[in-house]
Amino acid sequence: MISILKEKFALSDKGAKDMIIAILSVVASNLALMFPVGLLYNFTGDWIQGAALVDKAPLYISGILLCLVLIMLTTIWQYNTTFFTTYAESGTRRVNLAEKLRKLPLSFFGKRDLADLTNAIMTDAEALEHASSHQIPQYYGSIISTMIISVSLFFFHPQMALAAVWPIPVSLFIVITSKRMQNFFTRKQVKAKVELNEGVQEFIEVSRDLKSNNAEKAFLSELNEKINEVEKRSIFSELGVAMFVVTSQMILKFGIATVALTGSELLLEGNLGLMQFFCFLLVASRLYEPMSGTLINLGAVNALQVNVDRMNTINEAEEQIGSSSFNPGGYDITFDHAGFSYEDGKDVLQNVSFTAKQGEVTALVGPSGGGKTTVSRLAARFWDADQGRILIGGVDVKDIDPETLLSSFSIVFQDVVLFNNTVMENIRVGRKDATDEEVREAARLANCDEFIESLPNGFDTNIGENGSDLSGGERQRISIARAFLKDAPIILLDEATASLDVENESRVQSAISRLIKDKTVLIIAHRMRTVAGADKVVVLSDGTVSEQDSPEKLLKAGGLFAHMARLQTESRNWVLTGASGA
């Protein structure tokens, strides 16, 4: 039962156990509500038979008080088990989800649309939380309590029990068989919401470009269509549930009629007593009321399957695992006939072999799309190679836990990611336990102190979302300060100066020159100025190593590297001329 609930509703072990308790509490609460029916049945019988009600008053008053206490206790129990435990499980689910995402390879994120992934993490988790507190326990609890009451009715009077119970399985069957159609509507609704989220996010990111090209109106028109599509799909989804649930609820109403007609006929034939007839009318009124809500819950549980499947896709994704112990014999990075593809049948790297030695700077150059960035990501185990091996100090990176491996890397990306926090805390990302003095020293080494001193509150200045209050060069230097603070033996530099002006490039390169001393350095670069100081150049073209050697020897060889250097020299000498000079 626990394993079934875990898979069906994306629960943890404790969450599945708590769900069973919540279902039992709903059963107890529903059965407690039947006690007043029994009390009313006895009271009516005594009243019809002319019994001395005054003498029995203490008994009925005690019965009323007992019913109230019982209903109160079971209601409190149900509330605690269906709400408090659900919120605890929801917290556990979100933490486990974050932990799961932390362990997944970047290939997982490359195959999933980020808006879709965000929707799964936020919307689907919220849908599961709501269903776990308001629908799932109530549905199963009502089914169990209804079965208990229905079975007991057959012992009381089989013919009347059949007249009362027959609408229940018919109604359930109608809603259950609608599951496939409900899932179809729900998938369409989720897809429309994801596309809308993508559109809104894209508009925020490219609003400047839209304004500069007078394209806002056209883009907003498309976005409005996506909003209308979400509205339409939401209506269809609600109708897809409602037309089955409402039909089933209508069938439940026939139960009262069949109880009344069957009871009247049996009463006239003398095969049913008046009190028995009255009892069945009371029970039927209580039997159908929770079932009406149960049908709504069943419709919601059916529709929930799409959300659960999306959540399970994340939970069941294959993790990157490995040893937490990493003791390499040095920090040489060796690619041994490595191959990799993002999609089956589309190789990005093929038979790549080279060694980036410790204490040297190895530059990766080549045409765009040649595989330079992929090589650097494979070295840090952002992805795993499909063929061959990647070794650090003789140790295969596939055998090492990614977090353990990354403790040996300092990475400076071209696109710096900063947080809406102070300068101090943004640099401290490099090493969370660093003291303020260590952060300040890292900032000095990265040439950050000049612009930090000009900020309103120095290191305590909040720099806005993704460092929006800083220039590109300032943001890049903060990234380098993080690398200084981490002081890892391997440095990966991915186009660290590609988008900077000459002045900022000089400052950043000055900081980088201090950062890379006595370390294994892998640089991705296009500018010959950056490559000129490298000890070794590896030229990647169409996913293979076309040539590798020192920059001087490659220039003399006259191959692809020399061709790229020549083109870059020609581009520097290019002059823009006006119409008059044409």
Residue 397 domain boundaries:
328-341+349-408+490-502+515-573
Same domain? 334 vs 444: no
Same domain? 472 vs 497: no
DSSP secondary structure letter of residue 320: P
HSE value, Cβ hemisphere, 13 Å, CA-based, for 425 = 12
Which residue type occupies 469? D
Q: How many domains, the chain? A: 3
Same domain? 334 vs 368: yes
Output the domain CATH number for residue 523: 3.40.50.300
Answer yes or no: are the C-beta atoms of 478 and 429 closer than 8 Å.
no
**Long-range contacts, 525-529 (Cβ 8 Å, 24+):** 525/363, 525/364, 525/365, 525/493, 525/495, 525/498, 526/365, 526/495, 526/498, 526/568, 527/497, 527/498, 527/568, 528/564, 528/565, 528/568, 528/569
Give whole-number Cα distances, 28 to 71, 113, 132, in Å: 9, 45, 18
* Angle (deg, nearest 10), helices 274-315 and 125-134: 160
Q: Residue 322: inside a domain, yes or no?
A: no
| Token couple for 281 | 């009318």
Q: Residue 426: inside a domain, yes or no?
A: yes
pLDDT at 335: 94
User: Tokens 């605890």 belong to which residue?
Assistant: 88
Give whole-number Cα distances, 426 to 407, 408, 410, 466, in Å: 18, 20, 15, 10
Same domain? 386 vs 458: no
Same domain? 400 vs 294: no
**Long-range contacts, 242-249 (Cβ 8 Å, 24+):** 242/299, 244/174, 244/175, 244/178, 244/181, 244/182, 244/299, 245/175, 245/295, 245/296, 245/298, 245/299, 247/174, 248/170, 248/171, 248/172, 248/174, 248/175, 248/295, 249/171, 249/292, 249/295
HSE value, Cβ hemisphere, 13 Å, CA-based, for 313 = 16
Q: Residue 267: inside a domain, yes or no?
A: yes
Same domain? 72 vs 198: yes
CA separation for the pair 554, 532 (Å, rounded): 11
Answer yes or no: are the C-beta atoms of 70 and 34 closer than 8 Å.
no
Whether the model pTM is above 0.75: no
Answer yes or no: are the C-beta atoms of 402 and 322 closer than 8 Å.
yes
Q: Residue 441: inside a domain, yes or no?
A: yes
Q: What angle (nearest 5°) sits at the alpha carbon of residue 560, between those of residues 558 and 564?
A: 100
| Token couple for 81 | 């088990």
Closest-CA residue to 389 (of 345, 429, 353, 424): 353
What lies within 8 Å, CB to CB, of 235 at 6+ separation is: none
| Token couple for 373 | 């960035």
Q: Residue 368: inside a domain, yes or no?
A: yes
Q: Where are the alpha helices (DSSP H) in 318-471?
A: 372-379, 402-406, 423-428, 436-445, 449-453
**Long-range contacts, 531-534 (Cβ 8 Å, 24+):** 531/363, 531/365, 533/361, 534/361, 534/362, 534/363
Same domain? 336 vs 479: no
CA separation for the pair 287, 145 (Å, rounded): 9
Consecutive sets of 10 residues in the chain, 582 residues long: mean pLDDT of each? 80 86 90 80 72 75 90 91 86 82 76 72 82 85 84 86 87 81 80 83 78 82 88 83 81 84 87 80 75 75 78 82 89 93 79 91 86 88 90 92 89 82 90 90 84 88 81 83 88 70 66 77 78 86 90 88 79 53 46
| Residue 384: burial class (beta carbons within 10 Å; 0-12, 13-18, 19+) | middle
β-pair type (361-365, 536-541):
parallel
Closest-CA residue to 93 (of 10, 37, 32): 10
pLDDT at 489: 92
Same domain? 185 vs 143: yes
Same domain? 59 vs 164: yes
Same domain? 547 vs 460: no
Output the domain CATH number for residue 291: 1.20.1560.10
DSSP secondary structure letter of residue 519: S
CA separation for the pair 244, 250 (Å, rounded): 10
Q: Residue 158: inside a domain, yes or no?
A: yes
SS3 29: helix
Which residue type occupies 511? A
SS3 166: coil
SS3 124: helix
pLDDT at 582: 44
Same domain? 479 vs 497: no
The gap between the terminal CA atoms of the chain, to the nearest Å, is 81
Closest-CA residue to 356 (of 340, 376, 374, 339): 376
pLDDT at 579: 47
Number of H helices, E strands in the chain: 24, 10
Q: Residue 70: inside a domain, yes or no?
A: yes
**φ/ψ (deg, to 5) at 542:** 55, 35
Q: Residue 509: inside a domain, yes or no?
A: no
Same domain? 460 vs 446: yes
